[in-house]
């Protein structure tokens, strides 16, 4: 018996391109073979300063459409802020030229905004991703020299604030009013992200990357992940993990070494989670040569206890497991025992006596992630033919996802919604994956269980998805469509 396996993916494609006349700035060229019009981009004589800084397409009209959409029409002009520059002829000159092209946006990040975002980071995000400390943020502010436009400390601060505004704050609110040039929190987050991306493109590449550079890449990755830009997120997490391998710990002071150790595990967890959801390869490995030890919990720091538990969840998911998930030929014959070891590692990763004392945001992430990984392993067992309805081990039976759905309901019903929402779209996708697999089981496998109870659990998950990031806009509609196609009888009973 074969069940359809639902996998995560990019957001649904948008509507088809309009067949009306092309917009201004786009010419029309006839295809000599068919005679049909084909759009051709026209090069403008001079881009506006903002589009040039962002290295984006511009138009001859002023204000240009890009600046108008960003609410910066009054600052859009045809003049270049860089004056007359000669094109560089050597790699060294080009590096200097690129750095000159980037100019900070004046007053984009006022001190009071930075202080707010730093406080919110340590309150809401640091318990799960303890990659900064208050002392290190002060160090970054000291080193973010106003005279050095593309300095790495400035980039880290900008990208950290972008992540806070996009992932923590209410997207439709407006925390800072006239203090910033944006009419909503999400619009301001976009401006900060654009600044971080522009600065990143002009940073000097070094043979030995700094911790700041890798922190910048991680924050940009997190912003793209929150915005469901999955391909861009993969690009930046891949770059971050690659450059992290080139960091020399002996060049770091004690505090930076400790933060680098935390960042190593956060990168490993993020990369492996992304690899599982979107069937990507991984870079970081847990080997004696490049692995930092699991965070010490001797001082009972809750953030480190949570990180240690999360790292133990993902540590068994090595490149061999990922290659099996990606259906590489060399891994198809992976034995049952190897998969059993991975499952055992995931099941024993959480020390419940320690988890009980963690913050609600940490509990939410750990509980949901553990159940999601159990579903991933079950899908592999299904594909490899390891399941047997008469097996005395529940995880090797066809109805196991229904038990996971029940556990998901029980393990999240005592948590406030905002403790789940703070983890962004990634946790919404995990709920969605579990729900889809449970629907498949209900529709295809003859069960001697209370169907009403199983459907109640699914309805609870669906209602929770609607409260999470991207839930109403994307995942609820996809789940309803999946239920209508797979289990039509249940679709009529779902509460709206």
Report DSSP letters for 317-385, one per residue. --HHHHHHHTT-GGGTT--HHHHHHHHHHHHTS--HHHHTTS-HHHHHHHHHHHHHHHHHHHHHHHHHT
C-alpha 196/C-alpha 159 separation (Å) is 6
Q: What is the DSSP letter of 29?
A: E
Q: Which two tokens stand for residue 89?
A: 């002829």
Q: How far apart are the first and last CA of the chain?
A: 32
Closest residue by Cα to residue 108 from 235, 5, 198: 198
In this predicted structure, what is the pLDDT of residue 223? 97
C-alpha 299/C-alpha 295 separation (Å) is 11
Q: Which two tokens stand for residue 120?
A: 């919110």
Closest residue by Cα to residue 266 from 255, 258, 279: 258
Per-residue confidence in pLDDT tens, the chain, 496 aa: 444 444 444 433 433 333 333 333 334 444 444 555 555 455 565 778 778 777 788 887 888 888 888 777 777 764 443 333 444 445 444 444 444 556 778 789 999 999 999 999 999 999 999 999 999 999 999 998 665 545 899 999 999 999 999 999 999 999 999 899 899 999 999 999 999 999 898 887 788 899 999 999 999 999 999 999 999 999 999 999 999 999 988 889 999 999 999 999 999 999 999 999 999 999 999 887 666 778 777 677 888 999 999 999 999 999 889 988 888 755 556 667 888 999 999 999 997 777 888 999 999 999 999 999 999 999 999 988 889 888 899 999 999 999 999 999 999 999 999 999 999 999 999 999 999 999 999 987 666 566 788 889 999 999 999 999 999 999 999 999 999 999 888 877 775 5
In this predicted structure, what is the pLDDT of residue 18? 39
38 forms beta bridges with 29
**Contact criterion met (CB below 8 Å) for 109 and 158:** yes
Q: Residue 253: phi, psi to the nearest 5?
A: -75, 180
Q: Do β-strands 37-41 and 26-30 pair in parallel, antiparallel, or remain unpaired? A: antiparallel
Peptide bond into 63 cis (omega under 30): yes
Q: Which helix (H) or strand (E) holds 164?
A: helix 152-167
User: 3-state SS string over 38-69?
Assistant: EEEECCCCCCCHHHHHHCCCCCCCCCCHHHHH
Residue 38 CA: distances (Å) to CA of 30, 148, 301, 364: 6, 44, 61, 50
Residue 93 CA: distances (Å) to CA of 89, 90, 111, 197, 300: 7, 5, 34, 22, 51
**Contact criterion met (CB below 8 Å) for 3 and 375:** no
29 forms beta bridges with 38
Cα three-residue angle 192-257-130, rounded to 5 degrees: 50
In this predicted structure, what is the pLDDT of residue 58? 86
462 Rama class: left (phi>0) / alpha (psi -120 to 50) / beta: alpha
C-alpha 164/C-alpha 115 separation (Å) is 12
C-alpha 385/C-alpha 401 separation (Å) is 16
Question: Rg for the chain (alpha carbons), in Å?
Answer: 25
Percent helix, strand and coil across the chain, each to the nearest 5: 55, 0, 40
**Contact criterion met (CB below 8 Å) for 160 and 121:** yes
C-alpha 180/C-alpha 191 separation (Å) is 10
**Contact criterion met (CB below 8 Å) for 469 and 421:** yes
Q: Which helix (H) or strand (E) holds 37?
A: strand 37-41
Residue recorded with tokens 């599982």? 276
């Amino acid at each position: 018996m074969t069940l359809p396996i639902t996998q995560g993916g990019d957001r649904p494609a948008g509507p088809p391109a309009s067949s009306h006349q092309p917009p201004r700035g786009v010419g029309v060229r006839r295809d000599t073979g068919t005679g049909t019009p084909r759009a051709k981009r026209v090069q403008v004589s001079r881009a506006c300063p903002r589009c040039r800084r962002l290295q984006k397409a511009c138009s001859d009209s002023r204000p240009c459409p890009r600046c108008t959409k960003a609410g910066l029409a009054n600052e859009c002009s045809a003049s270049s802020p860089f004056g007359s520059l000669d094109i560089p002829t050597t790699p060294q000159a080009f590096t200097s030229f690129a750095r000159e092209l980037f100019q900070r946006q004046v007053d984009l990040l006022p001190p009071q905004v930075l202080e707010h975002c730093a406080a919110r980071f340590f309150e809401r995000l640091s318990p799960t991703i303890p990659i900064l400390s208050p002392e290190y943020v002060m160090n970054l502010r000291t080193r973010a020299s106003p005279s050095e436009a593309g300095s790495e400390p400035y980039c880290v601060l900008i990208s950290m604030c972008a992540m806070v505004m996009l992932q923590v704050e209410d997207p439709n609110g407006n925390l800072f009013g006239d203090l910033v040039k944006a009419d909503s929190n999400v619009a301001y987050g976009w401006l900060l992200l654009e600044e971080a991306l522009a600065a990143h493109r002009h940073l000097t590449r070094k043979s030995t990357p700094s911790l700041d550079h890798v922190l910048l890449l991680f924050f940009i990755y997190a912003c793209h992940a929150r915005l469901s830009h999955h391909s861009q997120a993969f690009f930046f997490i891949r770059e971050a993990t690659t450059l992290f391998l080139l960091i020399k710990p002996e060049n770091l002071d004690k505090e930076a070494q400790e933060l680098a150790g935390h960042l190593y595990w956060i990168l490993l967890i993020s990369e492996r989670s992304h690899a599982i959801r979107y069937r990507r390869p991984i870079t970081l490995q847990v080997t004696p040569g490049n692995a930092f030890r699991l965070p010490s919990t001797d001082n009972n720091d809750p953030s480190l206890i949570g990180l240690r538990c999360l790292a133990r969840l993902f540590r068994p998911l090595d490149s061999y497991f990922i290659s099996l998930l990606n259906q590489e030929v060399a891994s198809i014959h992976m034995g049952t025992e190897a998969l059993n070891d991975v499952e055992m590692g995931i099941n024993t990763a959480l020390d419940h006596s320690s988890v009980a004392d963690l913050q609600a945001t940490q509990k939410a992430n750990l509980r949901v992630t553990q159940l999601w990984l159990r579903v991933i392993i079950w899908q592999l067992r299904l594909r490899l033919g390891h399941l047997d309805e008469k097996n005395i081990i529940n995880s090797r039976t066809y109805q196991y996802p229904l038990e996971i759905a029940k556990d998901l309901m029980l393990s999240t019903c005592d948590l406030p919604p905002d403790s789940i929402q703070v983890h962004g779209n990634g946790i919404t996708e995990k709920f969605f994956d579990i729900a889809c697999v449970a629907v498949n089981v209900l529709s295809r496998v003859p069960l001697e269980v209370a169907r009403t109870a199983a459907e109640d659990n699914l309805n609870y998950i669906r209602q929770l998805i609607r409260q999470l990031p991207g839930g109403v806009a994307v995942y609820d509609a996809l789940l309803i469509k999946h239920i209508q196609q797979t289990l039509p009888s249940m679709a009529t009973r779902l509460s709206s």
